[in-house]
Amino acid sequence: MKVGVVTFPGSLDDRDAARAVRECGGEAIALWHGDADLKGVDAVILPGGFSYGDYLRCGAIARFAPVMDALVPAARGGLPVLGICNGFQVLTESHLLPGALIRNDHRKFNCVDQRLVVENASTAWTSDYEAGQEITIVLKNGEGGFVADETTLDRLEGEGQVVVRYVSDDTGRNPNGSYRDIAGICNERGNIVGLMPHPEHAVEALYGPSLDGRGFFTSVIARTLESAVNA
């Protein structure tokens, strides 16, 4: 099972994402931002970092990269796509997911082990979890506050498109001011998922707070293999 990992100028976690894919049994395929095609991959990860230096807005330039010309229609056609941190920002800028990510409400950069609750365990990227399961993975961002208008937020809640939610601290606050504690969302079909925390940093013992991130990668590998068998 081939998972493409896109590298933009300024990507930081592309190698970590590729390693996570390999650790969980998949084959990682390097995709360059200037590639005109997706090299026949079965899924794609847009990794964390600062694509194109995060000039203008985070992800605003990356949405125009040549590789996105191939990725956007493929994602709308059902290709599993995971956007992590900056990758989530790219997905919202590309209108593959609704809402936007803005500066953390406390105006500081986060780098913490973050508790999350899995709200939707039926997406291509979360089927190895249980709904309501609590996991701990790494969160590191400066512009991670998820915002959307009330109509969009109600639709995300009502259609089960909130994938993971922050577990608030003792003061009742989440780490970046995200509306309704939303840490990650999906599209209606469930093949496109974006989240701010980093599951790729929680896949190996001694290299993160847990192994809780593995489920994102094992889920898509199992789902794709199952689809191939049933085809």
Q: Give the residue ranges of DSSP H helices in 45-186.
A: 66-76, 86-93, 150-158
Whether 200 is a known active-site residue: answer: yes
Catalytic residue among 33, 85, 143, 201: 85
Whether 23 is a known active-site residue: answer: no
Tell the residue number behind the tokens 């081939």, with chain if given: 2
| DSSP-assigned states of every residue in 8-51 | -TTBSSHHHHHHHHHHTT-EEEEEETT-SS-TT-SEEEE-SB-G
Q: Give the three-state DSSP class for 148.
A: coil
Catalytic residue among 23, 24, 93, 198: 198
Tell the residue number behind the tokens 């290709």, with chain if given: 79
Long-range CB contacts (within 8 A, 24+) of 103-106 = 103/142, 103/143, 103/145, 104/141, 104/142, 104/143, 104/144, 104/145, 104/175, 104/176, 104/177, 105/145, 105/176, 105/177, 106/176, 106/177
Q: Rounded to whole angstroms, how far apart are CA atoms 60 and 14?
A: 18
Whether 130 is a known active-site residue: answer: no
What are the residue numbers of the active site?
85, 198, 200
